[in-house]
A and B are shown apart, each in its own frame.
Chain A
Amino acid sequence: MEESFAPSVIIEPHTVDTSEAVTELRHPLLRSLKELALDLLHDWVAMIGLIGLIILLVMAVTAPHISPYDPAKQSLRDRFVPPSWMEGGSPEHFLGTDSLGRDLFSRLIFGARVSLTIGFITLAVTATFGTFIGVISGYYGGTLDEILMRWVDIQTAFPGLLVAITIIAMIGPSVENLILVLAINGWLIFARIARGMTLSLREQVFVRAARVAGCRDRRIIIVHILPNLISPLLTISVMELARFILAEAALSYLGLGIQPPDSSWGLILAQGRDYLVNAWWVVTFPGVVIAMTVLFINMVAGWLRSVSDPHQRFKLRNS
């Protein structure tokens, strides 16, 4: 279940002349904010994505303050109230209520917390572990590299989601286990890309100079190699975040992810499934929120991809 709509440059860095790209990437953090903002202004798609994402994050963080109701509060008198703009809808429940009379809007706001938190934690775990393995593998090379990369190859060939649900079936569903199975599949792409970049960086003049100057391996990796990986890995991270959010939703939908009374978008959707015919809104809105979130993330990813590629950035600026 590995996403890789990354540009071919990133998939196989050693097949292209990376010297130019690497120079460009050398100081990704130093590129002025003004320049980044300029790029952003030229790309309205990215702008929408970024603003949408920020709104969602603010909603997730401030959930207890902005949510109109307690998301778990049941009210059997108010079951299946339609959205406020529909006939029979009530202004008290903007998006209506579910089969237990819980306010759907409040539940979605709180669900955002769970879904986004799991996405970000999984991302942190996979990016750290994958990058570590990739850098070690690329930097030291030899047998270690061979073993680690064969491991990555073999695991890539696994039926990811099926293995994930099997593991969950064996160890039981919980938030920790959910993050674990998502991470098991997620670190591979980070390892592969970090290794490829490290392989070419290792031969760059500035790394060789550092080695001649007597730097230890650890210092070379932390000071000279890792900063150059940030830009390409950032793009992958954003795309992976989208994938984790979708995968969490799917597992929760199958009953193998978040368990009640906790709630995530996928679970809200699953709970509304049996009432699709008389209460379409309980199924529809969580799906819309998932799609919007992932769409926003993908829009930002597209922009990051084009700014980290100097050729594309040139085209963007001059169009």
Chain B
Amino acid sequence: MSAYLARRLFYSIAVVIGVSVAVFLITHQLGDPVRMMLPLEASEEQYQAARQQLGFNDPVLVQFARFSVDAVRGDFGDSLWMDAPALPLVLERLPATFLLAGTAIIIALVLAVPLGIIAALKPRSLLDHVASLTALLGLSIADFWLGLMLIFIFPVSLGLFYTSGYGTWEHLVLPAVTLAARPLGRISQIVRSSVLDELDKNYVTAARARGLSEQATLLGHALRNAAIPIVTLTGFELTRLLAGFTVVVEAVFGWPGVGLLAVDAIERQDLPLLQADVFVVAMIVVVINLLIDLLYGALDPRIRY
């Protein structure tokens, strides 16, 4: 167990270093960050002075060392747009993103598990086809489009919920449903296939032979064994929501999370803020991945690290 933990931690640290190098390369070496931070009318002398002052004329390794030390201290510079340290601005937005992604995953799970089980119990039936088609649709719809359609149907036409904003559960409904579509499709597919796999196995036949009710066989045996791929995928989907899909949905609904902050930072050419945002989200993804790995052992006693 401890050897496994050590290996996982080592791996996580490698990812953190990889992310730092990538964020540094993207924000310091790609394009012209100094030009990006200066107002359009800045003269050539001002540009050169800013390059010198911000340290962009130093050797790359010196720049990277400075960036790393600052990152470890949580110092990503001051946001140009809000004129305050960048990191707290990002951290302040985190709860909104967690709330949105968490609600979306819960909605997806609550709908996807029954949907997948129904499909698996009667494969190739009409119900199975309907469930599979629902799953495929969830995967095929562009989330920002779904969001706009929901805005058109509910707030605009029916006067229900809100087009944007944050605060009450009524603000949360539409963005969370929008964000849930894709994980719903993926999770119900994996529930169907893993339950189907388990139902084919000998221990299920044995349970049935012992006279166990179909319900007890399913809930007590098959579903428990099918849980591992389902949990894995759910965790994976959660990281995917946090690592990207929330960006678009937050932009559609004006939801004040880290995704919208990134889009705003790009629009306002606010490099320190953007850099802090990407870094924080990457760290969260690393932590969640680590937690999922540790969860396996709890779910499946056969796994001994």
Do A and B pair up? The answer is yes
Contacts from A to B (Cβ < 8 Å): 1, 5, 7-8, 150, 153-155, 157-167, 169-172, 242, 246, 249-250, 253-254, 256, 266, 269, 273, 276-277, 280, 283-284, 286-287, 290-292, 294-295, 298-299, 302, 319
What are 12 contact pairs spanning A and B, CB under 8 A?
Answer: A5-B139, A157-B18, A157-B286, A165-B262, A166-B23, A276-B156, A277-B152, A283-B148, A287-B145, A287-B148, A292-B140, A294-B140
Contact of A159 among B18, B136, B143, B242 (CB under 8 A): B242
Which residues of chain B come closer than 8 Å to A283, judged between CB atoms?
A: 145, 148-149, 152
| Docked-complex contact B229 and A8, CB < 8 angstroms | yes
Distance to closest chain A CB from B20 (angstroms): 11
Q: Which residues of B contact A299 (CB under 8 A)?
A: 136
From A273, which residue of chain B is reached at the shortest CB distance? B148
Bound-state Cα–Cα, A167 to B25, Å = 10
Q: Are A294 and B229 in contact (CB under 8 A)?
A: no
Whether the pair B145, A298 counts as a contact (CB closer than 8 A) is: no
| A1 proximity list for chain B (CB < 8 A) | 240, 243-244
Knowing A159-B243, A159-B278, say if A250 contacts B248 (CB, 8 Å): yes
Are B124 and A319 touching (Cβ within 8 A)?
A: yes
- A157 pairs with B26, CB closer than 8 A: no
Question: Which among B67-75, B103-111, B186-194, B214-222 touches the partner chain?
Answer: B186-194
Q: Are B245 and A157 in contact (CB under 8 A)?
A: no
Q: Are B149 and A166 in contact (CB under 8 A)?
A: no
Is B281 an interface residue, CB under 8 A from the partner? yes
Docked-complex contact B14 and A246, CB < 8 angstroms? no
State the 10 A-B residue pairs at the shortest beta-carbon distance, nearest first.
Answer: A161-B244, A287-B145, A159-B243, A294-B140, A170-B31, A295-B140, A154-B18, A170-B30, A169-B266, A157-B15
Chain A residues near B229: list those with CB within 8 A. 8
Chain A residues positioned under 8 Å from B14 (CB to CB): 150, 154
B164 cross-chain contacts in A, Cβ below 8 A: none
How far is it, in angstroms, between the C-alpha of A295 and the C-alpha of B15 when the chains are bound?
Answer: 34
A161-B243 in contact (CB<8A): yes
Q: Are B152 and A166 in contact (CB under 8 A)?
A: no
Contact, CB under 8 Å: A269 / B15: no
Q: Given that A242-B140, A280-B152 are contacting pairs, would A165 and B30 also be in contact in the complex, using a CB cutoff of 8 Å?
A: no
How near does chain B come to A96, taking the closest CB pair, in angstroms?
A: 15
Contacts of A169 in B (CB 8 A): 266, 274
Check A287 against B190 for contact (C-beta < 8 Å): no
Contacts of B27 in A (CB 8 A): 166, 170
Which listed residue (A5, A250, A276) contacts B142, Cβ 8 A? A250
State the CA gap A234–B230 with chains docked (Å).
25
Pair A290/B145 contact, Cβ less than 8 Å? yes
Contact: A166 with B26, CB < 8 Å? Answer: yes
In this assembly, does B137 line the interface, its C-beta being within 8 Å of a C-beta of chain A? yes
Interface size on B, residues (CB 8 A): 54
Contacting pair B142 A290 (CB below 8 A): yes
In whole Å, how far is B165's beta carbon from the nearest beta carbon of chain A? 17
Q: Which residues of B contact A (CB under 8 A)?
A: 11, 14-15, 18-19, 22-23, 26-27, 30-31, 33, 36, 124, 136-137, 139-146, 148-149, 151-152, 156, 186, 189-190, 193, 229, 240, 242-245, 247-248, 251, 259, 262-263, 266, 274, 277-278, 281-282, 285-286, 289
The CB with the most chain B CB atoms within 10 A, among A160, A169, A253, is that of: A169
Nearest-Cβ distance from residue B130 to partner chain A, whole angstroms: 12
The answer to whether B289 touches A157, judged by C-beta atoms less than 8 angstroms apart, is yes
Cβ 8 A contact of B248, one of A153, A171, A254: A254
Interchain nearest-CB distance for A86 vs B (Å): 15
Q: Is the CB of B30 within 8 A of A167?
A: yes
- Complex CA–CA separation, A256 to B263 (angstroms): 10
Inter-chain pairs besides A158-B243, A246-B142, A273-B148, 10 sampled, C-beta below 8 Å: A1-B243, A153-B11, A158-B18, A158-B282, A159-B244, A162-B262, A162-B278, A250-B144, A269-B142, A294-B142
CA distance A167 to B149 in the complex (A): 29
- Distance from A118 Cβ to chain B, minimum over Cβ atoms (Å): 15
Once bound together, how far apart are the Cα atoms of A294 and B156, in whole Å?
A: 28
B146 proximity list for chain A (CB < 8 A):
287
What are the residues of chain A within 8 A of B259 when measuring CB–CB?
162
Most buried by A among B142, B149, B186, B190: B142
- Point out the residues of chain B lying under 8 angstroms from A242, CB to CB: 139-140
Instruction: Give Cα distance in the complex from A253 to B278, angstroms.
Output: 20
Q: How far is the CA of A68 from the CA of B242 in the complex (A)?
A: 43
| Complex interface: chain A residues within 8 A of B140 (CB) | 242, 291-292, 294-295, 298
Whether A294 lies near B251 (C-beta < 8 A) is: no
Contacts of B11 in A (CB 8 A): 153
Chain A contacts for B285, CB-based, 8 A: 157-159
Contact check, B22 vs A294: say whether CB atoms are below 8 A apart.
Answer: no
